[in-house]
Chain A
Amino acid sequence: MTRRPPRRGLRRLFRVSHDRHDALDEEIKLHIDLRVDQLVARGMSLEEARIEALTRFGGSVDGFSTAQRKLHISAERREEHMRLNEQLDAFRKDVAYASRAMRRSPGFSLTAILTLALGIGANAAVFGVVNTALLRPLPYDHPERVAMIWSHWQNWPQTWVSPSEAADYARQTDLFDGVSPFYLGAATLTGNGEPERVRTGIIAAGLLATVGVRPIMGRDFTRAEDQPNGPRVVMLDYSLWQRRFAGDRSIVGKQIDVSGVSRTVVAVLPKDFRLPLEFAGEWSQLYMPIQLGPPTKSDRWGHYLYAVARLRSGTSVVAANARFTSFVERMKKDNHYYDPDFGATLVSANDQVFGNSRRVLTLLLGAVAFVLLIGCANVANLLLSRGEARQREIAIRAALGAGRRRLARQLLTESLLLGLVGGVVAIPLAVLAGPVVVRLGAASLPRADAASFDVSVLLFTFVISVATSVVFGIAPVVHALRGDVHRSLRVSRGTGGARGRGGATIRQIIVAAQVALAVMSVAGATVMIKSFNTLLSVAPGFRPDNVLTMRLSLPPARYRGTTSIRAFYDDFLNRIRAIPSVRTAGAVSALPLTGTLADWGVSIAGDAEAPTPDAHQQRAAFDWQMATPGYFEALGIDIRRGRAFSAGDTKAAQPVVIIGETTARKFWPNRDALGSRIRLGGTQDTVWREVVGIAADVHHQALDKEIRPEMYLPHSQFPATAADSLLLGQNAMSLVVRSQGDPTVMTSDIRNVLRSLDPLLPIAQVRTMETVLTQSVATPRLATFLLAIFGTLALVLSAIGVYGVMSYSVAQRTNEIGIRMALGAQAGDVSRLIVRQGMLPAVLGIAVGIAAALAGSRLMQGLLFGVSPTDKASLVIAVFVLGSVAFLATMLPARRVSRVDPVSSLRAD
């Protein structure tokens, strides 16, 4: 077929079809003319012959133009079909040619494919986690309309709401479609196997509607069930239903034993249902109605509820927040119950669940993308080098009539094939690595348990394989097409330093780019490691070594009243202390680093000698917890002054309290806190308590959170003035046991002691204190671990990149080096020259990398502890590491120069 010069746009389209019609018309005209000639030769008149010719063509004279139109259409169809065929055919040929080229140089192909597979696999593994954590919507109906409501005071940036507030908020129907309070608890499941301690969600009726979830079996709690002393009902988490009740389809309506109380199962919840706060780590296994009843006056002050709300449709969280804030302000003005510095805010469910991890995951995604980009740079350089070796082949193909587009498509097909094979090899890598990432992040990453290698990960792998192929495939194409093919044909193999000039420049740019990326990766990893070390070096306020902890909870149904509970713990702790390997043991209501403590308003006596109930010096609220004798010794919390709790602190003795060091300094700025007195607000503990000890500060919330005011109340004395039946959590305590050696070996002894006291009691969360400490830093640990891995990969890959390019350039310049040395240059001079030239792109890359690292340091803001994102030392380390690696990678090939024999190198061609 003849080639027509290309024309552009619409005009071209019309022209082509015009041409085609012209050609067909010409063909038809020839046919008619020849027919007329034939007929005239047989003796017809010209006029008769014309009519006969047209008739024979289209069936009749009038049929001619119809026939002609039909032919136009069939001709067009033919053209289209043939064009498509041609393209398909070209593609098939490209693929066949590319796979032949791949097989012909297996070493090259293997290196490229493995490099790509490593990068793509790491990306797919991280994406698998990010996908579920960030991209998949929360399992709520219209999750963008679900928000948490939080109270805040000056000292408490985010805390609970009270029952009265929850009721007030729920009445704002122009703002909310529903507000449902809940809190988290724990219960003991008995019957149907071993007793088991499980988390519970205590939720208001209608909470399921608020988040927009329907049970897979049964129904939500009714309003009638959600009343004080209402019926004993329970909803089951899906995993509990599967695990403990073997997925019993007829479970709804049956009775189960929860903390010694028989409850009717009314529903089983969907597999992915979680309360908004429970997407990371453990989650509630049972849900029970909150049964608050109408709020009373004293309910104003009890801030102990979480609240989840559904915004009215069409309201964004931001807009809703503005209106909500002004509502709270109005309430404060009209209502004496609120403090002046009280406030409340909405946090979207999405921010609530992912707020903390979004940054970490984005950072990891960036870091792992860098690894892939650096890998791409290596493959691009490999392709470039090979492209030069293949220059003659390409030139021959061009000389034989392959157009530039055709050649470009051919080269890109080869890249695509490499990328896709790399992607296929990456899949098993990602499948293996994904669970490791998930396990590392399970305790802290939201929805990590839902992470899976699904279709979206496969799709992602495919997309990045293709994108990667284009990224590393573009440089060889540009290079190949820029070259003068005719000249390459004339130039013989291996001669001429000038031949690879263009390629050398592209290669150096690529090396500079990958070194820049590596500098950023290494700097990021270094800052992260430094931050993590700083975090680990924070003194937690206790000594975690040789300490075993476990959670224990006495069911109120069997242990009625504080007296019997105290008696149990006294007995239990004494028996544990009698175990030979135990040094000391105690218990506390809330273990450090496992959650947030509630605070309690206190009055500080102005004068320790003559306390009067009204002598407030300042209003204060301390985080409170209950502890038994032996707790401070067992956990290794130093008593700075005064004493720890002792067996003598009975209900009959002088009420006492122990406070933290910071608390003492802050609230007793000008006098001695020891011996001073405080009194708790409310009616449950209206006695003046003497400060008998000042304990070392404990990082209770988290290692990276500042110390809050804290106080310890004796388990044996608190609450002093409440009825014996009132439980403020005395039944649920964390046991803390310090051992002589390995603390885990004590577990069975402790279980035996417990079984001898009460065989129905389960223990939960048996962990060493070291584990508690480790789990509390799971997120920074994950980030540090992965950044370190990705940083190392980046370093190794870029070292290989620099080394490869240098080796190639030295090999290519053997001739030139031979001439230099023949002309009298010393081996040392030549290798210095080569190192100098080789280091140029590396130095450039390092400079760009520093600038980019500084510019991008914002990404790490908020993820670091005690280290600035632009930490100078880390940058210096990155520069030093990259500099020396690049130097080594340049040095090794340059040293080979000294082994060049000028004579044989000149004879090489």
Chain B
Amino acid sequence: MAPLVKGTLDALVLKTLSWGAMHGFEITSWLEDRSNGRLGVEDSALYQALHRLEERGLISAEWGVTDKNRRARYYVLTSAGRAHLRAETDNWLTYADAVTTVLTATRRSESP
């Protein structure tokens, strides 16, 4: 399991919730499944992230019931959260592209 790059957990949680309301464990499992277990998220860190996101109004929470009939706190993306996710995704892609370009460079650039 690879440790998570700092600051990416929030974006991952937002992305996860963009598929619909989920409770904490569902989010974890979803993240684990999608990354084929390559992303290591400590469970308590996830809940910290949820608190943080809720505080900033990017997600909101409501009590609901699971299919096994247990009370669970379901989180949903707010419109502010959706906008935030878009911006973060763009940032990440630009950043990742830049880093990839540099890391995979095959020869020294020459002045034109």
Contacts and interface: CB of A to CB of B under 8 A. Distances in A.
Q: Do A and B interact?
A: yes
Interface of A: 1-2, 23, 26-28, 30-31, 33-35, 38, 56-59, 67-68, 70-71, 74-75, 77-78, 81-82, 85
Contacts of A75: 51
A43 to B, nearest CB: 16
A331 B28 CA distance: 99
A30 B25 contact: yes
8 contacts: A30-B25, A30-B66, A31-B24, A38-B29, A70-B48, A71-B44, A74-B51, A78-B55
B23 interface: yes
Given A2-B63, A30-B72, A74 B25 contact: no
Contact of B25 (A31, A70, A71, A85): A31
Which 10 residue pairs across A and B have the least CB separation, nearest first?
A: A67-B44, A57-B43, A74-B51, A78-B55, A34-B25, A78-B51, A31-B25, A81-B55, A27-B73, A71-B47
Contacts of A30: 23-25, 66, 70-72
Interface residues of B, number: 22
Given A33-B70, A82-B57, 11 more contacts: A23-B73, A28-B47, A30-B70, A31-B43, A38-B29, A56-B42, A57-B42, A58-B42, A74-B47, A78-B55, A85-B57
Nearest to A80: B55
A59 B46 CA distance: 12
Contact of B44 (A2, A23, A38, A58): A58
B64 to A, nearest CB: 12
Interface of B: 23-25, 28-29, 42-44, 47-48, 51-52, 54-55, 57, 62-63, 66, 70-73
A82 B58 CA distance: 12
A56 B43 contact: yes
A24 B23 CA distance: 12
Contacts of B43: 31, 35, 56-58
Contacts, number: 60
B105 to A, nearest CB: 38
B71 A26 contact: yes
Contacts of A33: 70
Q: Is the interface of B mostly helix, strand, loop or mixed?
A: helix
Contacts of B70: 30, 33
A35 B77 CA distance: 24
Nearest to B32: A38
B55 A82 contact: yes
Contact of B48 (A27, A34, A71): A71
Nearest to B24: A31
A23 B24 CA distance: 13
Contacts of B66: 30
Contacts of A82: 54-55, 57
A75 B47 CA distance: 9
Contacts of B44: 57-59, 67-68, 70-71
Contacts of B62: 1
Nearest to B57: A85
B71 A71 contact: no
Nearest to A66: B44
Nearest to A68: B44
A81 B55 CA distance: 6
A619 to B, nearest CB: 92
Nearest to A29: B70
Nearest to A38: B29
A57 B51 CA distance: 16
A360 B73 CA distance: 69
B101 to A, nearest CB: 35
Nearest to A67: B44
A267 B28 CA distance: 84
A260 to B, nearest CB: 84
A23 B73 CA distance: 9
B26 to A, nearest CB: 8
A77 B25 CA distance: 22
Contacts of B52: 74, 78
A74 B71 contact: no
Nearest to A23: B73
Contacts of A28: 47
B91 to A, nearest CB: 25
A805 B43 CA distance: 68
Given A38-B29, A67-B44, A27 B51 contact: no
- Greatest chain B CB density within 10 A among A23, A31, A82, A85 is at A31
Contacts of A77: 51, 55
Given A35-B25, A58-B44, A71-B47, A27 B55 contact: no
A78 B52 CA distance: 7
A30 B70 CA distance: 8
B54 A27 contact: no
B57 to A, nearest CB: 7
A163 B47 CA distance: 89
A70 B49 CA distance: 12
Contacts of A78: 51-52, 54-55
Contacts of A31: 24-25, 28, 43
Nearest to B40: A56
A71 B73 contact: no
A2 B61 CA distance: 11
Contacts of B42: 56-59
Contacts of B54: 78, 82
Contacts of B48: 70-71, 74
Nearest to A81: B55
A264 to B, nearest CB: 75
